[in-house]
C-alpha cells in the first residue's frame, strides 16, 4: 500500500510538472521570438507591404472596441439571467433544471457554430430587418463589429450566467434574512446586499469572458472581422481587424512567411500580454473587494 501511495504522489506531481513545462515552453518561445519585434512603432503603426512590415495598431484597436461592445451586450443579459436563476426561479422545478441544462449545453457548442449562427441570425435576419425598417441600403445586413460583438456575447453568456448565479448563491442566507427582517423588499435585498457581495464573482465572469473574447477567432470570422482594413473602424457598423484573426492571417496567408514571422510572434506576444494584464487586473480587483468586505 505504501508503495502505491508514493507512486501516486509522484505520478500526480509529475503531471503537474509536465503541464507547467509546456506552459513555460510556450511562453519562452513566444517571448524569445517576439520580444525583438516589440517597439513603439509596432503598437502604433498599421501593417504595410502586404502585412510583412509595419505594426498592429488596427488589430489592437479593433480587439478593444470589439470586447467593449461585447461587454455591453453580455453583462446585462448574463447577470440578469444569473439573478433570475439564483433568486426568482423556483428551485428544483423541472423548468429551472431544463434552463440550467440549456445553459450548460450552450457552453459546449463549438464556437464556429456560434459564428455561423451569428451570420444567419444577426446579419441575415436581424440586420436585414433593421435595414428594411429603417430604409437603409446595406448598413446592418453585412458583417460588422456590432454583430461580431453580439455573437461573442452569446458565446460567453453561459460563463457569465453561471459565475453570476454561483456568486449570488454564495451570499449567505443570514445576510438575506437580516435584510428582510429590516423591511427590505426582495429587490432592495438583491440590490443592496446580494449584488455588492456577488460583485467580485460577477466581475470574474466578466473578465474571463473578455480575455476569452479577445482571443476567439471562429465566432468573428464571418460576422465582422476583416482580413485587412486600410482604415480604423469608427462605428459599430464598420468592419474591424482583430488580434486573434490577425495571427491566423499572418501565419497562413502571408506572401512571405520568413519575413512575417517576427511580426507573428510579436502579435502573439501582445495578445498574450493583453489577456495576462486583464486577468491580473481581475485578480487585483477581486482581492481589493475581498479586503473591503473583510473576507
Partner 1 sequence: MEDKGINPWVSTEYSQPEYVRMIENIHALNENLIVRVEDFSLFYGDKPALKRINLSIKKNRVTAIIGPSGCGKSTLLRAFNRMNDLIPNVRIEGRILIDGEDICKKDTDLVALRRKVGMVFQKPNPFPMSIYENVAFGLKIAGEKDRARLDQLVEKSLRQAALWDEAGDILDRSALTLSGGQQQRLCLARALVIEPEIILMDEPASALDPISTAKLEALIYSLKKDYTIVIVTHNMQQAARVADYTAFLLLGELVEYDETRKIFTNPTDKRTEDYITGRFG
193 or 263, CB closer to partner 1? Answer: 193
Give the footprint of partner 1 on residues 169-198 (CB under 8 A): 172, 174-185, 188, 192-193, 196-197
12 or 91, CB closer to partner 1? Answer: 91
Based on DSSP, count helices (H) and strands (E) in the chain, helices before strands. 13, 2
13 or 196, CB closer to partner 1? Answer: 196
- 132 makes contact with partner 1 (CB under 8 A): no
For residue 96, the minimal CB distance to partner 1 (Å) is 13
Residue whose cell numbers read 509595419: 54
**Near partner 1 by CB under 8 A: residue from 8, 88, 125, 293:** 293
92 or 252, CB closer to partner 1? Answer: 92
| Burial class of residue 24, CB neighbours in 10 A (0-12, 13-18, 19+) | exposed
- 8 makes contact with partner 1 (CB under 8 A): no
117 or 199, CB closer to partner 1? Answer: 199
Number of chain positions touching partner 1 (CB under 8 A)? 22
For residue 282, the minimal CB distance to partner 1 (Å) is 20
- 3 makes contact with partner 1 (CB under 8 A): no
Classify residue 46 by its DSSP letter. Answer: P
- 292 makes contact with partner 1 (CB under 8 A): yes
32 or 290, CB closer to partner 1? Answer: 290
- 288 makes contact with partner 1 (CB under 8 A): no
For residue 294, the minimal CB distance to partner 1 (Å) is 4
**Which residues 6+ apart lie within 8 Å of 268 measured at CB?**
30, 34, 247
For residue 281, the minimal CB distance to partner 1 (Å) is 23
Residue 163 to residue 48: CA distance in whole angstroms: 42
For residue 194, the minimal CB distance to partner 1 (Å) is 11
As a whole number of Å, the end-to-end CA separation of the chain is: 41
99 or 184, CB closer to partner 1? Answer: 184
For residue 193, the minimal CB distance to partner 1 (Å) is 6
Report DSSP letters for 1-26, one per residue. Answer: -HHHHHHHHHHHHHHHHHHHHHHHHH
Q: How far is CA 254 from CA 62, 131, 260, in A?
A: 20, 36, 7
Q: Look at the chain and count its residues.
A: 295
For residue 160, the minimal CB distance to partner 1 (Å) is 23
Q: Find the helix or strand (DSSP H, E) in which 47 lies.
A: strand 47-48
Contacts of residues 251-259 at CB distance under 8 Å and 24 or more positions apart, as own/partner, are 253/227, 254/50, 254/51, 254/52, 255/50, 255/52, 256/50, 256/52, 259/52, 259/53
Neighbouring C-beta atoms of residue 256, cutoff 10 Å: 12
Residues that bind partner 1 (CB under 8 A): 172, 174-185, 188, 192-193, 196-197, 292-295
Amino acid at each position: 500500500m505504501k508503495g502505491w501511495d508514493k507512486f501516486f504522489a509522484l505520478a500526480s506531481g509529475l503531471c503537474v510538472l509536465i503541464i507547467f513545462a509546456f506552459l513555460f515552453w510556450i511562453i519562452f518561445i513566444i517571448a524569445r521570438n517576439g520580444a525583438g519585434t516589440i517597439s513603439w512603432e509596432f503598437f502604433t503603426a498599421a501593417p504595410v507591404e502586404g502585412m510583412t512590415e509595419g505594426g498592429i495598431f488596427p488589430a489592437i484597436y479593433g480587439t478593444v472596441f470589439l470586447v467593449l461592445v461585447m461587454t455591453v451586450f453580455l453583462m446585462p443579459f448574463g447577470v440578469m439571467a444569473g439573478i433570475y436563476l439564483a433568486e426568482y426561479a423556483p428551485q428544483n422545478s423541472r423548468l429551472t433544471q431544463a434552463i440550467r441544462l440549456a445553459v450548460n449545453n450552450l457552453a459546449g457548442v463549438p464556437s464556429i457554430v456560434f459564428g455561423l449562427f451569428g451570420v444567419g441570425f444577426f446579419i441575415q435576419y436581424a440586420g436585414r430587418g433593421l435595414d428594411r425598417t429603417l430604409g437603409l441600403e446595406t448598413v446592418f445586413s453585412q458583417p460588422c463589429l456590432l454583430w461580431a460583438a453580439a455573437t461573442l456575447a452569446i458565446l460567453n453568456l453561459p460563463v457569465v450566467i453561471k459565475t453570476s448565479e454561483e456568486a449570488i448563491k454564495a451570499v449567505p442566507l443570514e445576510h438575506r434574512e437580516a435584510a428582510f427582517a429590516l423591511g427590505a423588499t426582495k429587490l432592495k435585498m438583491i440590490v443592496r446586499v446580494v449584488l455588492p457581495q456577488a460583485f467580485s464573482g460577477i466581475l470574474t465572469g466578466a473578465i474571463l469572458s473578455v480575455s476569452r473574447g479577445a482571443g476567439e477567432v471562429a465566432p468573428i470570422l464571418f460576422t465582422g472581422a476583416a482580413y485587412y482594413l486600410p482604415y480604423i473602424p469608427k462605428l459599430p457598423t464598420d468592419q474591424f481587424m482583430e488580434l486573434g484573426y490577425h495571427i491566423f492571417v499572418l501565419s497562413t496567408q502571408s506572401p512571405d512567411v520568413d519575413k512575417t514571422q517576427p511580426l507573428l510572434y510579436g502579435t502573439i506576444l501582445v495578445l498574450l500580454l493583453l489577456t495576462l494584464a486583464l486577468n491580473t487586473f481581475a485578480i487585483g480587483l477581486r482581492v481589493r473587494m475581498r479586503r473591503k468586505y473583510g473576507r
